[in-house]
């Protein structure tokens, strides 16, 4: 197998950047849920209470990934959130993988794979609570 010499030395940095990117997306999404829960609940076809719970879960997962605290649990929780989003898009709203008039569920699947990578690798050494 061909490998780039020295590339593995950057694995922990790569995992940190992956965690920060995932944390940014979920943090902003969760903040939007919390900032205007009634509007978000209506657009998601969910209750206001569940939308607030979802926002808190996204923000908590984002903070866990960003700071490296309970990263694997945070990644697992975010995977379940994405499974819920995929369910809504694929089976309830029937948007399709790519979507026609709205984004499909390929975006959520990418985040499942990113969180799965964090879950399986432990998120790297750059953390407040490394493995």
String of DSSP letters for 53-101: HHHHHHHHHHHHHHHTSSHHHHHHHHHHHHHHHHHIIIIIS---SS-SS
The answer to the question of residue 109 being in a domain is: yes
Length in residues, the chain = 131
> Distance between CA 93 and CA 75 in Å, rounded?
25
The answer to the question of residue 131 being in a domain is: no
Domain count, the chain: 1
Q: pLDDT digits over 16-34, tens only? A: 999 999 999 999 999 999 9
The answer to the question of residue 128 being in a domain is: no
Does the predicted model carry a pTM greater than 0.75? yes
Any residues with CB less than 8 A from the CB of 53 and at least 6 apart, and which? none
Q: pLDDT digits over 78-109, tens only? A: 999 999 999 999 999 999 998 877 789 999 99
The answer to the question of residue 44 being in a domain is: yes
pLDDT at 41 over 90: yes
Domain that holds residue 85: 13-121
The answer to the question of residue 41 being in a domain is: yes
The answer to the question of residue 92 being in a domain is: yes
The answer to the question of residue 126 being in a domain is: no
Read off the tokens for 2.
């061909």
Residue 9: helix, strand or coil by DSSP? helix
> Distance between CA 90 and CA 68 in Å, rounded?
32
Shortest CA distance to 30 belongs to which of 109, 69, 85? 85
The answer to the question of residue 46 being in a domain is: yes
């Amino acid at each position: 197998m061909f490998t780039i010499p020295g590339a593995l030395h950057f694995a922990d940095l790569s995992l940190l950047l992956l965690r920060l990117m995932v944390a940014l997306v979920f943090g902003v999404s969760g903040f939007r849920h919390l900032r205007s829960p009634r509007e978000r609940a209506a657009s998601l076809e969910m209750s206001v209470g569940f939308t607030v719970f979802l926002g808190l879960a996204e923000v908590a997962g984002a903070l866990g990934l960003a700071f490296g605290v309970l990263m694997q649990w945070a990644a697992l929780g975010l995977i379940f959130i994405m499974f819920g989003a995929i369910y809504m898009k694929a089976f309830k709203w029937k948007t399709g993988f790519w979507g026609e008039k709205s984004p499909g569920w390929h975006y959520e699947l990418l985040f499942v794979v990113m969180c799965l990578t964090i879950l399986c690798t432990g998120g790297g050494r750059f953390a407040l609570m490394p493995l």
